[in-house]
Amino acid sequence: MFSKQFNHNLIEKTVSQSLLKSETEVKSCLTKTTFSSQDLSTLLSPHAENYLETLAQKSVSITRQRFGNTMQLFIPMYLSNECFNTCTYCGFSLEYKYKRKTLNTDEIKQEATLLSQKGFKHILLLTGESPKHVSTPYLKEALQIITPLFSSVGIEVQPLEQKEYQTLIKAGADKLTLYQETYHKKSYLKYHTFGLKRNFNNRLDAIEKGAKAGFYQINIGALLGLYDWRYEAFSLANHLDYLMKKYWKIKFAISFPRIQDMIGSFHEPYPINDKHLTQLITAFRLAYPDLGITLSTRESQTLRDNLAPLGITSMSAESNTSPAGYTKGHYEEQFQTNDNRPLKSIITMLKKKQLDPVTKDWDISLMPN
């Protein structure tokens, strides 16, 4: 398992080396025609910030070469905001004493039908982490309701065991999203003060259990703002390299979500600005040319419009982060979104940028038996 070989000291050393990279080293690196994860130390260095335009141009070129002009669109759907963890940065944290909600079968069908009618064919199902309320049997039943309405159904739920993931794959799930939140263990324990989520290694290894279970695509990442963004980036690359080598048949993707406004008084201790976010996206595109990169509605409309052509392959649209949020629900959300444009507006924007919006590029029938 990856947790057994994850080396904090090695990551810290890589961060230090990156901070010392010279402008000459950056220039030399950018003359290359192919890149690897070994180049991230240079591409994410402070001196590389001065060559963001070059990074962007190379990123666009690689993205068009590998993915064409396509942009896959999806929508998240929250099944529950019940959670048995205390996470200081999350709106679903157990410490908040508001009315919780888990959708019943009729509500699941109502939400899913509405989203399908809007034109979405890819959907991501999310929950809080409450094994009592959103158990594997509950998720299986939800998938059986939702799968007939969509071409692709992803899940972003609490870490599960391999057999549980296999159950959900048989029920229709083809993609798994699971963020480590932060790869820095001391910070992880600081922010996760109660509940099963406090187990750092369990979360880190759940991705591999999903890979063994047979998901078609797996999406990983860190929640930017909880620790130094370069540390998170090099940790993520280390994790990716391990997974891509060992589970080479799986399609991997990453996201770079940033902490946004939520209930409570939490403020990110390690904010990352727009320039560094852009540097992250373009550097990872150069290092991993075939990697999917997802852009969240956590970001503003203007920033999403500017970032879309630079290496992004998938975007969420019309996102609501509360259960029943698309129909009758008025329940507490996990976090606030900043780009609330309808699907049609996102499609129009993409077309103006010479990108081809795609609502379906996968079908469950393509999954192996």
Q: At what angle do helices 105-118 and 136-146 cross, to 10 degrees?
A: 40
Q: Is the pLDDT of residue 64 over 80?
A: yes
Would you place residue 321 in the very low, low, confident or very high pLDDT band (cuts 50, 70, 90)? confident
CB of 57 closer than 8 Å to CB of 30: no
pLDDT tens sequence across 117-133: 999 999 999 999 998 89
**Spatial distance between the Cα atoms of 219 and 217, rounded to a whole number of angstroms:** 7
Q: Residue 292: beta bridge partners?
A: 253
pLDDT confidence band for 262 (50 / 70 / 90)? low
pTM of the model: 0.93
What span, in angstroms and rounded, lies between the C-alpha atoms of 101 and 81? 6
Fold of 2-363: TIM Barrel (3.20.20)
Q: By the 8 A CB rule, do 38 and 257 touch?
A: no
pLDDT digits (tens, 9 = 90+) for 80-98: 999 999 998 888 887 878 8
The predicted structure's pLDDT at residue 259 = 86
pLDDT band at 337 (very low <50, low <70, confident <90, very high): confident
Average pLDDT, the chain: 92
- Tens digit of each residue's pLDDT (9 = 90 or more) over 286-302: 999 999 999 988 899 99
pLDDT of 263 reads 59
* Nearest one of 12, 1, 4 to 235, comparing CA atoms: 12
Q: At what angle do helices 200-213 and 162-171 cross, to 10 degrees?
A: 50
CA distances to 9, 207, 235, 321 from 5, rounded to whole Å, are: 11, 15, 12, 35
